[in-house]
Structure 1
Amino acid sequence: LSFLTGLFFLIFGLGEYYSCSYLLQLMCLADLEYDYVNPYDSASRINRAVVPEFVLHGALCFLHLVTGHWLMFLICLPYLYYNIKVYADRSHLVDVTEIFNQLPWEKKIRLYKLGYLVILLAFSIFWMVWSIVDE
């Protein structure tokens, strides 16, 4: 395997981890909605996963930039901007006291993010197969 193909496998694996993290957050919010878990536990689980996701997405954007996949980098760029904006505004963490008021919004945001990641993953698989066939 070439370096580029190995890098695509790395990007694919990181994307899988990334999407599983969003599924975990959605499950925490659903458990909270149906009162299976208390707000403190749910907020701590969600908040523990937020900053690593931001770092992981930044790393994926950087990998796309370094490997010269400009289309993938441009697709990742708006979401990277959103992550930086949310982090700079200090609104990236879920507040325990406001989690019930923010529950529909938080679920909607995470569903949009998951949909975005599925699209990004489909593009990554396509380009990975394309690079293998092109060799």
Structure 2
Amino acid sequence: MWSLYGWLFNFIFLIAVISIIGYELMCLTDLEFDYINPYDSARRINMVVLPEYITQAVLCLSFLLTGHWVLCLISVPYLYFNLTLYLQRKHLVDVTEIYNQLSKEKSQRLFKLGYLVILLVLSLFWLLWTIAGEEFD
């Protein structure tokens, strides 16, 4: 039963990271179609970058602590990428360069979203596998 709670805890953090990435993509798309000015867009994105990084780090740590080694190993490169961006001080969007870096920022977040969707599918598969295994015990 505790394994199921661990999976649900991980699932909640995974959905949180996906929703933050979706919000960032929405802000970039609004900027691209000129629905929002660059100052507001950069402020909104920069406001959720650190919560995204922290939530993803907690998710990776949670996978490790609950014994889901494969998912932890799958999420470590994403954590390393975020840590590298943070240490190089490239994690925030610059308001003066946002139009020049718009395609790069969007593609980076789309790649992150795809990575997280693959992690979500694997996590759902193993969650259902765990539920089916406990049902027959």
Using the size of structure 1 for normalisation, the TM-score is: 0.96
Is 2:115 the counterpart of 1:116?
yes
Match of 1:13 in 2: 12
The runs of at least 4 aligned residues of structure 1 exceeding 2 Å deviation read: none
Structure 1: stretches of 5+ with no match in the other structure: none
Structure 2: stretches of 5+ with no match in the other structure: none
Q: Deviations over 1:95-120 (max 9, x none)?
A: 00110000000000000000001000
- Give 2:55's aligned amino acid: L
- After superposition, the CA RMSD in angstroms is 0.8
Structure 1 segment 63-102 matched on structure 2, within 5 A: 63-102=62-101
Match of 2:43 in 1: 44
Match of 2:127 in 1: 128
CA distance in 1: counterparts of 2:22 and 2:79, whole angstroms? 19
Q: What's the CA shift for 1:130?
A: 1.0
Match of 2:57 in 1: 58
Q: Does 104-113 or 22-31 show the bigger shift?
A: 22-31
CA distance in 1: counterparts of 2:68 and 2:16, whole angstroms? 21
- Give 1:122's aligned amino acid: V
CA distance in 2: counterparts of 1:20 and 1:64, whole angstroms? 19
CA distance in 1: counterparts of 2:69 and 2:115, whole angstroms? 17
Q: What's the CA shift for 1:132?
A: 1.1
CA distance in 2: counterparts of 1:65 and 1:14, whole angstroms? 14
CA distance in 1: counterparts of 2:52 and 2:86, whole angstroms? 12
Percent identical among aligned pairs is 51
Q: What's the CA shift for 1:22?
A: 1.0
CA distance in 1: counterparts of 2:88 and 2:24, whole angstroms? 21
Match of 1:107 in 2: 106
